[in-house]
């Protein structure tokens, strides 16, 4: 079948954590054709070289959000009437953004104005330029000054209004993308739209749903709405501008969640945000991201030696290595010979790393056996790929217990890596940690060095418990977090959505109106729930790690 992948930033130009899973998805499903519709947030996306893509990616289209708005300065043709219609829809839209978010019918008013603008933009490509014009700024000012507007929005000055109008035009620019021709070769040919990020990538997917009836799948492994709000704050935008933009992105996400055939968060944290913004529980299914790279074999335990804790990850304030160092001081009171290995993986915050080095030197002066021997610090800072930790399994094998000390965390990839390596873990209760670890590790409150130290000491003193938890952790990781499990889930979802929510039954036509033979997959015409699991697959089955979890709770 034909899958339209829609992304804001990231894939196919970036191969970070966000783009990597999309690349694995595309490469792992060679039986489908993919067309990528990328919303470029920065000019770097357009100038970066296109990476090598698999043959099943048949098309890549990029819509830049930087630079001047496309189209003429006004709507051509029946200029006056069209401009009045577009400005009226824009007035309704920003009226929702400036008003009370809890008022009745707000979601419907937002959707009506959004789709009204989309219809006009589809007919005429000059709408983005109009939304950046003086007319649009004047409409925005009138709405923000009108009775019923939130007091915070009413405080917007001229500079705030100009900036807000500019940002809203960029966010709405996908409405005028050249992707919505009914007889074209773009979104009209897709059997399924898969928005692999939130944000403005949701707009083309929503319009394909509205114009062509194409089923919509939304996947978020982070929480794009939350990330956007934090970015606006970090960028120093004024409170009135942040309020308007936050309302827009909140309403856009809510509309997408309501219209989607299925929403697939990557963890319970993202799921809670989505349900809070309007996603219905019976149309939300958690699909964990697959582990990147070959699954490591559990390393052999080191023979003898001092007990050791190991931390692996990117060094930045959110990882709270300062708290870990203070916790390690408590561990040393119970285990004087204990060591801590900090293994850096990926770029981090150099200033924070230097702060941690200084604190380690202050808390743990170099120890020497006598007056002649050189001293050695019980805390070592290493880098993944160095002789002491050439690969991830070696890094995790260096410790008896793997520690995650974060105060902020999304999906804890390093924790999953440790689980694949069969290591016992102590983690802080942030993000999706509790969901990932299940009962196969110890979880303590964040920002609590004493609790972190007590949990580490408990495992250091009990090697049998460490072995039992490590084995259970590996079984849990193999059960839930492999790439194969992720691919199998999306393969099933694709078939199920096309089978039970077909976009349209009318045949596809080429630009001259001739029907295209076999333009729709046969799956969309098979009656009944043909993708349902057979009875034998529905029988209750206890996963291999459940026994260890049950014993741990007992």
pLDDT at 305: 74
Query: Going by C-beta distance under 8 Å and a sequence separation of 6 or more, which residues neighbour residue 165?
Result: 131, 132, 136, 137, 140
- Kindly tell me the burial class for residue 79, based on how many C-beta atoms sit within 10 Å of its own C-beta (0-12, 13-18, 19 or more): middle
Query: What are the tens digits of pLDDT across the range 157-177?
Result: 999 999 999 999 999 999 999
- Kindly tell me the burial class for residue 482, based on how many C-beta atoms sit within 10 Å of its own C-beta (0-12, 13-18, 19 or more): middle
Burial 456-476 (b: 16+ CB within 10 A, else e): bbebbeeeeebebbbbbbbbb
Among 511, 431, 141, 403, smallest CA distance to 271 is for 431
Q: Where are the alpha helices (DSSP H) in 287-389?
A: 321-334, 350-363
Q: Are 70 and 176 in contact (CB under 8 A)?
A: yes
Q: Where are the alpha helices (DSSP H) in 29-75?
A: 43-47
In this prediction, the residues of the chain whose per-residue pLDDT falls under 50 are 47, 73-75, 368, 370-374, 505, 530-531, 536, 538, 540
Q: Which helix (H) or strand (E) holds 7?
A: strand 2-8
Look at residue 474 and give its three-state secondary structure: helix
Q: How many CB atoms lie within 10 A of CB 43?
A: 12
Q: Are 472 and 440 in contact (CB under 8 A)?
A: yes
Q: Please give the mean pLDDT across all residues of the chain.
A: 86
Query: Going by C-beta distance under 8 Å and a sequence separation of 6 or more, which residues neighbour residue 160?
Result: 238, 240, 241
Q: Is-same-fold flag (2-67+178-283; 308-478)? A: yes
pLDDT at 480: 93
pLDDT at 536: 45
Among 304, 305, 299, smallest CA distance to 422 is for 299
Q: Are 46 and 62 in contact (CB under 8 A)?
A: yes
CA distance 114 to 97: 12
Q: Whole-prediction pTM value?
A: 0.82
CATH number of 308-478: 3.40.50.2000
> Is the bond preceding residue 4 a cis peptide, omega within 30 degrees?
no
Query: Going by C-beta distance under 8 Å and a sequence separation of 6 or more, which residues neighbour residue 369?
Result: none
The CATH classification of domain 2-67+178-283, taken from the options 3.30.1490.20, 3.40.50.2000, 3.20.20.70, 3.10.20.30:
3.40.50.2000
Cα pseudo-dihedral 36, 488, 433, 269, rounded to 10:
50
Partner residues linked to 443 by β-bridges: 427
Partner residues linked to 380 by β-bridges: 341
Burial 520-532 (b: 16+ CB within 10 A, else e): bbebbeeeeeebe
Kindly list the domain boundaries of the chain, sorted by start residue. 2-67+178-283, 79-167, 308-478
């Amino acid at each position: 079948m034909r899958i339209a992948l829609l992304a804001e930033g990231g894939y196919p130009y970036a191969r970070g954590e966000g783009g990597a899973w999309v690349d694995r998805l595309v490469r792992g499903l060679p039986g489908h054709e993919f067309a990528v519709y990328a919303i470029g947030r920065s000019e770097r996306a357009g100038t970066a070289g296109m990476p090598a893509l698999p043959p099943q990616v048949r098309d890549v289209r990029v819509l830049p959000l930087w630079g001047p708005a496309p189209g003429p300065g006004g709507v051509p043709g029946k200029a006056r009437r069209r401009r009045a219609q577009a400005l009226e829809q824009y007035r309704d839209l920003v009226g929702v953004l400036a008003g009370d978010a809890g008022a009745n019918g707000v979601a419907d008013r937002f959707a009506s104005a959004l789709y009204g603008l989309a219809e006009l933009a589809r007919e005429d490509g000059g709408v983005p330029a109009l939304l950046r014009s003086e007319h649009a700024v004047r409409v925005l000012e009138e709405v923000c000054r009108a009775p019923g507007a939130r007091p915070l929005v009413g405080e917007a000055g001229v500079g705030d209004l100009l900036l807000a109008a500019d940002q809203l035009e960029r966010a709405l620019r996908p409405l005028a993308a050249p992707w919505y021709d009914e007889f074209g070769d773009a979104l009209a040919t897709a059997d399924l739209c898969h928005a692999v990020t939130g944000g403005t990538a949701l707009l083309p997917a929503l319009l394909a749903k509205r114009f062509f009836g194409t089923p919509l799948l939304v996947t978020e492994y982070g929480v794009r709405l939350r990330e956007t709000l934090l970015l606006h704050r970090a960028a120093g935008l004024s409170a009135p501008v942040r309020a308007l933009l936050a309302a827009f992105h909140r309403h856009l996400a809510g509309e997408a969640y309501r219209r989607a055939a299925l929403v697939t968060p990557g963890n319970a944290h993202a799921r809670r945000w989505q349900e809070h913004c309007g996603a219905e529980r019976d149309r939300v299914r958690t699909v964990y991201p697959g582990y990147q790279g070959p699954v490591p074999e559990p390393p052999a335990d080191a023979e003898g030696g001092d007990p050791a804790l190991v931390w692996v990850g990117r060094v930045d304030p959110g990882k709270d290595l300062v708290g870990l160092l203070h916790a390690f001081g408590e561990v040393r009171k119970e285990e004087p010979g204990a060591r801590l290995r900090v293994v850096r993986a990926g770029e981090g915050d150099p200033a924070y790393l230097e702060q941690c080095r200084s604190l380690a030197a202050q808390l743990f002066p170099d120890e020497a056996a006598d007056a002649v021997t050189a001293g050695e610090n019980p805390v070592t800072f290493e880098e993944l790929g160095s002789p002491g930790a050439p690969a991830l399994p070696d890094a995790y094998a260096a410790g008896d217990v793997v520690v995650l000390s974060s105060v902020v965390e999304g999906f804890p990839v390093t924790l999953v890596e440790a689980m694949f390596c069969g290591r016992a873990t102590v983690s802080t209760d942030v993000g999706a940690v509790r969901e990932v670890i299940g009962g196969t590790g110890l979880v303590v409150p964040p920002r609590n060095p004493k609790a972190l130290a007590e949990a580490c000491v408990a495992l250091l003193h009990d090697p049998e418990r460490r072995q039992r938890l490590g084995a259970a952790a590996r079984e849990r990781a193999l059960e839930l977090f492999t790439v194969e499990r992720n691919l199998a889930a999306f393969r099933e979802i694709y078939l199920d959505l096309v089978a039970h929510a077909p976009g349209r039954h009318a045949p596809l036509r080429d630009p001259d109106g001739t029907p295209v033979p076999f333009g729709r997959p046969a799956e969309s015409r098979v009656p009944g729930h043909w993708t349902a699991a057979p009875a034998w697959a529905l029988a209750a089955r206890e996963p291999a790690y459940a026994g260890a979890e049950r014993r741990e709770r007992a």
